[in-house]
Amino acid sequence: MESRVRVRFAPSPTGPLHIGGVKTALLNYLFARKHKGDFILRIEDTDQARLVPGAEEYINEALEWLGLVPDEGVKQGGPFAPYRQSERKEIYREYADRLLKTGWAYYAFDSPQELDDIRNKYESENRTFSYDASVRRTLNNSLALGEGKSKEKIEAGEPYVIRFMMPENVEVLAHDIIRGEISFNTSTLDDKVIFKSDGLPTYHLANIVDDHLMQVSHVIRGEEWLPSLPLHVMLYKAFGWDMPKFAHQPLILKPSGQGKLSKRDGDQLGFPVFPLEWKSPAGEVSSGYRESGYFPEAVINILALLGWNPGTEQEIFTLNELIESISLERVTKSGARFDPEKARWFNQQHLQRKSNKELSTAFISLLNKKGIKIEPSFVEKVVGLVKERAVFVNDLWDQSYYFFIAPDSYDEKTRNKFWNSDVTKDCLKIIRDTEPFTSDNLESGLVSYVQSKNIGFGKVMNPLRLAIVGAGIGPHLMNIMELIGKEETISRIEKALVKLR
């Protein structure tokens, strides 16, 4: 029987969560849900110098807003707590010691200055220094010094790191679900630091140990981690552990298609690259998808289709449809170009799919901020008439303000082209006599007038629209009149006849 699917999203709280990170979280979440498995959020904060206040809370809030709530994590707890790496440091030391005992690691006492001097010497000879098998026995470490001397240094309190001892000239094969077979030779790799002088592990050791102890079955992460794969494979071999299955998904590329999408691209082209607005400790504000008016389900839809092909023509997906359709084998190897216009289109599609009631709830809070208090049933009807022209909820105001406030000014171009006070006065009489005051009855009365005068319908509708709306915009005019009511319609036309005299 195959073991339970357990995946993890393991961000570092060094700033706001980039949408590339969200995309990784999403793929992990979808895969876990599809296979009835577990989605873990682990906070990788071993690089204490780079931690940013508020970043961990931001990560949790972003995932919750998107509906990607972890099964286990710092907030949720779980059987493998703690889920914050800085609270697990005793665990890592035990495993670093195990590698020292089995000869897979060694103490290195080289100071930063010593290493800089060696690098400079190599550079002066047009060579590149690498702390690897070719030089390690000549440097300031326990391999060269021997056990006795090393012990003395440690007891004297001399700072040290622990390095992984990469074997010489071994061909290693690893399998990636997205990329297929990946082979490498250990001679091309250096002896990475796995435990730092501050008593904390590096990402590499902590990540392997945690994935093993938390029973992670699949490591789904961004392709920027591909260069680390050989070391991770060797660490699994050194511990004698079964490896999880690996899948490295492609990067999100700039709109130009050249290079990884960055905050600068968003700033220059005016779109967010973070799920939520972020205020840095220095006070710099970066825009977020939530605050820009995007629906969380639209953001998820956008990201899911970057670098994944469902194998059908379908583009609009709900979260449940994505769970059903997701397959790591259909994730592409090459980077996916981010298209800001397509992102807007996705939001528009999701807005159209929402019920008028759902949209009116969001719109009412916007109206309240403008000091407009109105019946929810009225707002619902308005939304039904204008939503097809909106991309964001905020657009509903631009498309419908005239339902809530009578015009005070009139579009000059429309006035010069279409205004006709005689026709408008005739129409006002018809409107006064229309009972019951419905769209169909209004249309019937105005059509009869047009036919009797033998004029085009536009000659009637354009001046009437100018009087009622203030511009040549909006849905079917009879619907507008029915909704604002007879009294308001007559009042607006009378006002226009005075102001446009």
**Residues annotated as part of the active site:** 263
Separation between Cα atoms, residue 60 and residue 56, nearest integer Å: 7
Secondary structure class of 207 (helix, strand, coil)? helix
Q: What proportions of the chain, in percent to the nearest 5, are helix, strand and coil? A: 50, 10, 35
Handedness of CA 412, 418, 424, 427 (dihedral sign): negative
AA identity, residue 146: G
AA identity, residue 3: S
Separation between Cα atoms, residue 247 and residue 111, nearest integer Å: 37
Q: Which two tokens stand for residue 21?
A: 């990170």
Extract the runs of DSSP E, i.e. beta strands, from 291-449.
Answer: 336-337
Pairing assessment for the beta strands 278-279 and 285-286 based on DSSP bridges: antiparallel
Cis previous bond, 82, omega within 30: yes
Q: How far is CA 392 from CA 255, 306, 359, 389, in A?
A: 21, 22, 10, 9
Q: How far is CA 446 from CA 69, 145, 268, 441, in A?
A: 56, 101, 51, 9
Cβ pair 66, 35 in contact under 8 A = no
Residue by residue, DSSP assigns 113-168 as HHHHHHHHHHHHTT-----STTTGGGSSBHHHH-HHHHHHHHHTT---EEEE-PPS
Q: How many residues are given for the chain?
A: 501
Burial (CB < 10 A; 0-12, 13-18, 19+), residue 119, is: middle
Cβ pair 439, 481 in contact under 8 A = yes
Contacts with 394 (C-beta within 8 Å, 6 or more apart), sequence order: 293, 366
Contacts with 381 (C-beta within 8 Å, 6 or more apart), sequence order: 356, 483
Q: Which two tokens stand for residue 354?
A: 């929402």
Q: Give which of 228, 239, 222 is closest to 27, Cα–Cα.
A: 222
Q: Give which of 277, 279, 301, 304 is closest to 289, Cα–Cα.
A: 277
User: With left for phi above 0 and alpha for psi between -120 and 50, is residue 294 left, alpha or beta?
Assistant: beta
Separation between Cα atoms, residue 339 and residue 256, nearest integer Å: 9
Cβ pair 155, 129 in contact under 8 A = no
